[in-house]
Structure 1
Amino acid sequence: MKRLLLPAVISALMIAEVHAESFTITDIRVNGLQRVSAGSVFGALPLNVGDAVDDGRLVDATRALFRTGFFQDIQLGRENDVLVISVVERPSISEITIEGNKVIKSEDLLRGLQQSGLAEGEIFQQATLEGVRNELLRQYVGQGRYSANIETEVVAQPRNRVALRININEGSVAAIKHINVVGNTEFSDEELSRLFQLRTTNWLSFFRNDDKYARERLAGDLERLRSHYLDRGYINMDITSTQVSITPDKRDVYITVNIAEGERYTLRDVRLSGDLKIPREEVEALLVAQPGQVFSRQVMTTTSELITRRLGNEGYTFANVTGVPEPHDDDNSVTLTFVVEPGNRAYVNRINFRGNTKTEDEVLRREMRQMEGGWASTYLIDQSKTRLERLGFFREVNVETPQVPGTVDQIDVNYSVEEQPSGSITASIGFAQNAGLILGGAISQNNFLGTGNRVSIGLNRSEYQTRYNFSFVDPYWTEDGVSLGYNAFYRSTDYDDLSYDIASYAVDSLGGGINIGYPISEESRLNFGLSVQQDSIDTGRYTVDEIFNFLEDEGDEYLNFKASVGWSKSTLNRGVLATRGNSQSLVLETTIPGSDLSFYKLDYSGQIFFPMSRDYTLRVHTRLGYGDSYGSTSDLPFYEHYYAGGFNSVRGFRDSTLGPRSTPSDGSNPGTVADPDQRPLPFGGNLLVTGGMEVLFPMPFVQDQRSLRTSLFWDIGNAFDTDCPSTSPSCTSIDFSEMASSVGVGLTWITALGPLSFSLAMPVMKPDNADTQVFQFSLGQTF
């Protein structure tokens, strides 16, 4: 503004010198206009024809014209009684060129320049350009680029225009050379340094980029440092000063944090005050903070949240619970009082749904655990939101609880959903090392006609298996959430080619079944099923004596009726590639009277995720199976055997090659070895034991990790036979010293074609006759 007023003052002095006497304006003439219209000048000029003017009014007029920003020089003169205004317009910007920038995109820079008034066609002002230059330098300094330099050039062009050249040298980011905390006596430098996200340069800095100074990240580190002390009783801890210095070459940064720890305080007493609304003993049971403990701000906050949530479950949605610490410096203790302000109990007026253009309201409403007219329970509202997310019909679910206008005790619960495709008509192609080329097609709809029912028709074909299936599930066959499902299938499996490393036989299966699921809690269900299955066996040219013996005793065609009962529980945060929660399932399946064979199978699978940090998770998993015959059937049918090895089992070993083996014999002469050089082939067993651990970690340089899983894993397991026949020297009975084990790295990527899985494994324990396979991949299945 001072720059604008200076020419005005000079012009005013000239006016005072030449026009010492006042006069009445008979006309106004403007000279020097090129782009600015005369109307813009007269609109800003506080003088008109007929006005009497003196030196003061002329100075005010000059200032008014300068304030328009259109002119860089203005002179007022007089010819008789005519006011002559001579102006020199500021140039317009014809072109802006930016060079040298990489970190900040040119589009973002141009957008910022335009917001500051620098754009093509705008009036150029040097002061604005200098302000923008200084702001850009501040942004680069904020990124740790202290050596950044910005040079500007104004190139004059014809017709009073200028071209702006902005040359940027972004420089290099200064690396943190040393972080020093001064004044700490209770905690070591190593312990405090682990609290900082900022790090000195190390071998992981290239990936983490954590050795680059930024004010915002340092502020977060200082808050974590302060919280570390406050959570351990040092309520008077203070960060007295922080110094950030940079070396003269602007390449290294040194950070020094000075602190005063103060004394450590313990809890003398914990009290409750206010209107509790619920029994005092229930509130006291939520008090995590107890007398005698070291004072912790985190424990205080957690206790307040627990009491607030408990009140919210009783309808006091707007309750406020505040922990008020009262320090006693005489004995370094604290009296902690939780002040409870419950407010009015809120009731739900209406539950509304928005965004469900395809899904019927009833499908959403039956997932509600919060009812209209009832207390507004925080837990039930959140539980209802979780159940909507688990449906799989919606990309996103949000909930709001606005107060009903004109009331003090009523709220509406508004669920906003964003629908996503829940059905597909797909054709797929895949390849797995154990199955070869896999061709598939499916028509599925998880939300059939918006009713929430699941319908699917599928066809899959590989080199050894053909499978057709149809299924239908009504998840709310009754209003209580009892589900009803039924299915039919045809499966033809042919292991007659010895290249599959499985004892050769062919089995054709045709069947169907019905299943009823009964919910016993929010996460658990009981499932009951009945099915019928027709199996036909063909041994081919070569097989093993165990198959001959079974077929001789039981025949080669069976009609079996099966009953199953199962229990399942899941608290996983996602249906695919979960990272939190746990899941378990236990299923008992057995044939029932009227079946040609008598056998049963008991299967258990479980997994649990343990968060190790924000980015790292430990997954522990296991799969156990046991089967046996009963009644007149001699053994568990061989085509119901368990196998181990490969994806979803023990990686690093070829698929289904772990466990008991048997030597193929000539189909025309049982008991005769088909080929003396032929290795024993996997025959499976009636007991399966597999498990392992995985450390899940984020893939470097990938922003969205939801479609990726990378892990370091340890797999262990094998299949056994609890009753190995004496004619099978390669059969493995229960011997845990024969467990196979491997370690390695795995990756699963959810692509448009399906899940693509890789593993690179090194066998650690290798049973006799086991076939290893270091690199494995599969398209179309996850692990």
Structure 2
Amino acid sequence: MKNQFKRIRARTVSGMIAAAFAVNAWAVDPFTVRDIRVEGLQRVEPGTVFASLPFRVGDQYNDEKGSAAIRALFGLGLFKDVRLEVSGDVLVVIVEERPTVADVDFAGAREFDKDTLRKALRDSGIAEGRPYDQALADRAEQELRRQYINRSLYGAEVVTTVTPMERNRVNLTFTITEGEPARIRDIRIVGNHAFSEGTLKGLFDLDTGGWLSWYTKSDRYSRSKLNADLESLRSYYLNRGYLEFRIDSTQVAISPNKQDITITVNVTEGERFVVSGVKLEGNYLGKEDDFKTLVKIRPGESYNAEQVTETTKAFTDYFGSFGYAFANVEARPEIDRSRNLVAFTLVADPSRRAYVRRVNIAGNNRTRDEVVRREFRQFESSWYDGDKIKLSRDRIDRLGFFKDINIETADVPGAPDQVDLNVTVAEKPTGSLTLSAGFSSAEKLGLGFGIKQENAFGSGQYLSAEVNTSKYNRTIALTSVDPYFTQDGVSRTIDIYHRSSKPYEQQGGNYELATTGLGLRFGVPFSELDTVYFGATVERTQLKPGTNIPAAYLAYAESVGYTSYGVPLTVGWTRDDRDSAIAPTTGRLQRVSGELGLIADARYGRASYQYQQYIPLNKQYTLAINGELGLGKAIGGHLYPVFKNFYSGGLGSVRGFEQGTLGPRDVTGASIGGTKKITLNAELFVPFPGAGNDRTLRLFGFVDAGNVYGDNEKIDFSLMRVATGVGVSWISPIGPLRLAIAQPVRKFAGDRIQRLQFQIGTSF
């Protein structure tokens, strides 16, 4: 041969093994590389190849380096063939690129939207712009099947079609035959004696289905849901004295046609144990009496695992409030099986006291550090305090800017009495642009537009613009809230609004009240739950004459004019410890608000008080109680501004009566509201038939009572209207929806009855 020519080659079929054997088969003598050329590139940059080579021009080349070069280039995942050719002292790297995925599409997918499937494939390595490989396609098919299995679609089939395109690209089409979902046909619990199978199955979110299963999908098997149900079953027994209860096994059987699933749970109940005593051992910092008050375990009562857990957690938290971040509390049972008794010894080791050196915040890519840090009640260089750390986490959570918050305690190397707090947050979108439409039996069709940003520019400030329109109420409002107007946490709210309304009336009146205002309000936090608000508003109110205008409105207009001005001073107090603002199950809300007009045309005082209490009767039933009082009074001999009257009747007050029709009426029969209001509501929430324990869809029974009284009337409970009925509460994608069917129990002549009422966005 005139020119010595040797080739080193490896293909993806044999991977790294082929690369190693290729070098041995085509061994070359070591030489100094004078030049390196790369051939076969289409989209990959040459620099990517050169950066992966373990040698450079001028370096010594040998077989070991050639083998390493082939492994490195294959490791990039960009090539399906790699060859090294040596011609004299020139090394030629010849590559064949893998095709690039140009487009990913799905055919036959109904259970998932395409974006969800694309995300699942992206996690498997298949996405537009990435190199294509048959192994990745196989893995993608498996991932798609897994997604469908999670939805109980065990018969789903996936076929991949690869369509070559120009410029070494391919289109991928995943054709999916979903089939019918497998449904739970039977759930069996074997080994139970103390409780009926029906009682135990009632604890499960999974069931054999009902007429509403199309919505709840409770008859679709899910391993995660089954695990949660098994934990509920275990807790049920352990909280009722069955200390040695265990779940022996769980069998999930699927029929040959992959349509029916049977779940069998085998349990051993054991005996029911009673607590005979509780004693404390270990170091309790000389505060044994304080710790004893935290004990939830009650001698003479059945063993309750939840009480034991609550006790040990309360002890650990109490140690943490004194700076003992590493306290260990162990509840040691002493079991007397002959008498079915158990005694507990609570052994405590406070370990060492610790300071917090630093609070580190991570994950807030958009939100400023100060927005998170100012919610912290645990300060750096101070004693570790578990209560303050928990409170800090709750305060960060209440911001609503993060979908996940985690606080971990980390030791400081070389400093056994110091810890760092690592706060990791996962941000979520805090802005929204909404176009909405709603319909209510009172206000007919209403259209809305809104734009808001709860964390504007990562500063923690709230900005919003809202436009709503309906038959009776129209609003244009701009709001800006700075929650930390001062470093002490005093908030500032600026409101600019224009509202026009027509009182709820069915007699064809076309008069209108229009109010334009500018308000400034400050909120001062007096505790973690209590906030006091005060501010002032400048308002312009115009009464536009029309047909059937009430005499009270005319009288006020003749006294102060059809256009009047007011500067009401506002003050309020709120305490809210509910577990949810949309679908609460426990907690209490109290709200007091007041307005005082001392200057301009409107001279009046107006106050209201609201009290809500949510009482969880068990996992499925919640009792809700609501009470509202309102009082308005004119000042200095002036007429009370009728546009500040209270109204009652309908959803949100006394159901079964038309919206806003209770109380005084004009001679024309128009409802004009009153200066005194009282409303009482009681609701019992129960699961919706077929919805299991889903709290977004519930039935409720209710009893309402209330009325509105005029300025010269006394509150007379004998005149209060009373109604009872049932309703449906649904947290729908477009907002909370309530539908109520009410039957007035106490009504009077002239009352306007409306037994069926519904509205989106109504609270209580």
* TM-score, scaled to structure 1: 0.65
1:711 Cα shift?
4.9
Distance (Å, rounded) in 2 between the aligned partners of 1:538 and 1:222? 65
1:526 aligns to what? 532
Equivalence for 2:609: 604
Bigger mean CA offset, 311-320 vs 464-473: 464-473
- The answer to whether the aligner puts 1:286 opposite 2:300 as a matched pair is no
Question: Does the Cα contact within 8 Å between 2:674 and 2:711 map onto a contact in 1?
Answer: no
Q: Aligned match of 1:632 in 630, 637, 643?
A: 637
CA deviation after TM superposition for structure 1 residue 322, in Å: 1.1
CA distance in 2, matches of 1:42, 1:693: 76
Task: State whether structure 2 residue 277 is matched by structure 1 residue 269.
Answer: yes
Alignment match, 2:330: 322
Instruction: Verify: 1:345 aligned to 2:353, yes or no.
Output: yes
The 1-side partners of 2:542 and 2:109 are apart by 72
Equivalent residue for 1:719, pick from 695, 707, 711: 707
Q: What amino acid is the match of 2:709?
A: D
Q: For residue 383 of structure 1, give the secondary structure of its aligned residue in structure 2.
A: helix
Change (3 A) 1:631 1:40: closer
Query: 1:427 & 1:219 partners in 2: Cα distance?
Result: 40
**Does the CA-based 8 Å contact 1:348-1:372 persist in structure 2?**
yes
1:381 Cα deviation from its structure 2 partner? 1.9
Aligned partner of 1:517 in structure 2 is 523
* Preserved CA contact (<8 Å) 2:706 2:720: no
Q: Secondary structure at the match of 2:300?
A: coil
Match of 1:661, SS? coil
| Maintained 8 Å contact 2:569/2:596 | yes
Counterparts of 1:348 and 1:231, CA distance in 2: 37
The alpha carbon displacement at 1:435 in A equals 4.7
Name the counterpart of 1:682: 671
1:235-273: CA deviation from partner (whole Å, max 9, x where unpaired): 455778999999999999998888776654433332222
- Output the CA distance in 1 between the equivalents of 2:357 and 2:181: 59
Secondary structure of the structure 2 residue equivalent to 1:605 = strand
Cα shift at 1:586: 1.0
> Does 2:484 correspond to 1:476?
yes
Helix, strand or coil for the counterpart of 1:363?
Answer: helix
8 A contact 2:252–2:263 mirrored in 1: yes
Describe the SS at the equivalent of 1:542. Answer: coil
AA partner of residue 518 (structure 1): V
Aligned partner (choices 738, 742, 746) of residue 763 of structure 1: 742
Which range moved further: 364-373 or 221-230? 221-230
Instruction: Return the alpha-carbon distance in structure 2 between the equivalents of residues 549 and 196 of structure 1.
Output: 63
Is 1:643 matched with 2:631? no
Gaps of 5+ in 1: 1-34, 48-99, 123-132, 151-167, 665-679, 726-730
Query: How many angstroms does 1:632 deviate by?
Result: 1.5
d(CA) in 2 for partners of 1:295, 1:394 = 39
The alpha-carbon deviation at position 359 of structure 1 amounts to 3.3
Q: Which has the larger radius of gyration?
A: 1
How far off is 1:360 after superposition? 2.9
Q: Which amino acid aligns with 1:385?
A: R
Q: 2:722 aligns to what? A: 739
Alignment deviations for residues 280-316 of structure 1 (CA, whole Å, 9 cap, x no partner) = 1111111112443333333222211111121223222
Pairing of 1:540-619 with structure 2 (within 5 A): 540-551=546-557, 556=562, 558-574=564-580, 576=582, 581-592=587-598, 594-611=599-616, 617-619=622-624
Distance in 1, Cα, partners of 2:311 & 2:711: 57
| Code of the aligned partner of 1:643 | Y
Structure 2 spans left out of the alignment, 5+ residues: 1-12, 26-107, 127-131, 136-141, 158-176
Label 1:181 to 1:203 Cα distance change in 2 as closer, same or farther (>3 A).
farther
Give per-residue Cα distances to partners, 1:406-465, cap 9 Å, x unaligned: 432322222233444545677777666645665666665544444434445555565666
CA distance in 2, matches of 1:779, 1:488: 25
- Equivalent residue, structure 2, for 1:410: 418
Name the CA distance, whole Å, in 1 between partners of 2:196 and 2:502: 66
TM-superposed deviation, 1:580 = 5.2
Contact 2:478 2:496 (8 Å CA) reproduced? yes
Report the Cα distance in structure 2 between the residues aligned to 1:42 and 1:504, rounded to whole angstroms.
90
What is the distance in 1 between the residues matched to 2:502 and 2:684?
Answer: 34
Over aligned residues, Cα RMSD in angstroms? 5.7
Q: How many Å separate the matches in 2 of 1:236 and 1:412?
A: 39
Partners of 2:230 and 2:512 lie apart in 1 by 68
**What CA deviation, in whole Å up to 9, does each residue of 1:531-585 have, x standing for no partner?**
3434444543533334444555666554444233211012244555556543221
Q: 1:139 to 1:563 in 2, by over 3 A?
A: closer
Cα distance change on mapping 1:660 and 1:503 into 2, 3 Å: farther
- Contact 1:274-1:340 at 8 Å conserved across structures: yes
Q: Which moved more, 1:367-376 or 1:598-607?
A: 598-607
Asked if structure 2 preserves the Cα contact closer than 8 Å seen for 1:486 and 1:513, the reply is: yes
Tell me if structure 2 keeps the 8 A contact 1:660–1:732. no
- Equivalenced residue count is 645
Question: What's the CA shift string for 1:341-400, capped at 9, x where partnerless?
Answer: 222223222112233344332222221111011222222222222212222333443333
**Residue 219 to residue 325, structure 1, CA distance change in 2 (3 Å):** same
- Distance in 2 separating the partners of 1:364 and 1:481: 13
1:392 maps to which residue?
Answer: 400
Q: How far does residue 489 in structure 1 lie from its aligned partner after superposition? A: 4.2
AA of the residue aligned to 2:659: D
Q: State whether residues 321 and 338 of structure 1, in contact with CA within 8 Å, keep that contact through their aligned partners in structure 2.
A: yes
Amino acid at match of 1:567: W
- Aligned to 2:343, which of 303, 311, 335? 335
Alpha carbons of 1:373 and 1:767: their partners in 2 closer, same or farther (altered >3 Å)?
farther
2:691–2:697 contact (8 Å) kept in structure 1? no
Shift of 1:323: 0.7
1:303-452 mapped onto 2 (5 Å cutoff)? 303-329=311-337, 331-422=339-430, 434-435=442-443, 444-452=452-460
Separation in 2, partners of 1:505, 1:631: 28
Identity among equivalent pairs (%): 33
Distance verdict in 2 for CA 1:272–1:590, change over 3 Å: same
- For residues 479 and 42 of structure 1, the distance between their equivalents in structure 2, rounded to whole angstroms, comes to 66
Q: Which amino acid is the alignment partner of residue 565 of structure 1?
A: V
Rounded to whole Å, the distance in 1 between the matches of 2:403 and 2:147 is 36
Q: Secondary structure at the match of 1:688?
A: strand
- Residue deviations 1:487-512 (CA, integer Å, cap 9, x gap): 444445466xx965587644444443
Deviation at 1:212, TM superposition (A): 8.4
Q: What is the aligned partner in structure 1 of residue 40 from structure 2?
A: none
Q: Are residues 1:658 and 2:662 paired?
A: yes
Distance (whole Å) between structure 2 residues aligned to residue 716 and residue 365 of structure 1:
45
Query: 1:654 Cα shift?
Result: 3.9
Contact 1:468 1:489 in 2 (8 A): yes
140 and 388 in structure 1: CA distance in 2 versus 1, 3 angstrom threshold: closer
CA 1:338 to 1:169, structure 2 compared with 1: closer, same or farther past 3 Å?
Answer: same
Q: Distance in 1 between matches of 2:635 and 2:448?
A: 38
TM-score w.r.t. the length of structure 2 is 0.66
Aligned partner of residue 662 in structure 1, secondary structure? coil
Q: How far apart, in 1, do the equivalents of 2:602 and 2:631 lie? A: 17
SS at match of 1:303: helix
> Which residue identity does 1:743 align to in structure 2?
V
Residue pairs, 1:157-168, within 5 angstroms: none
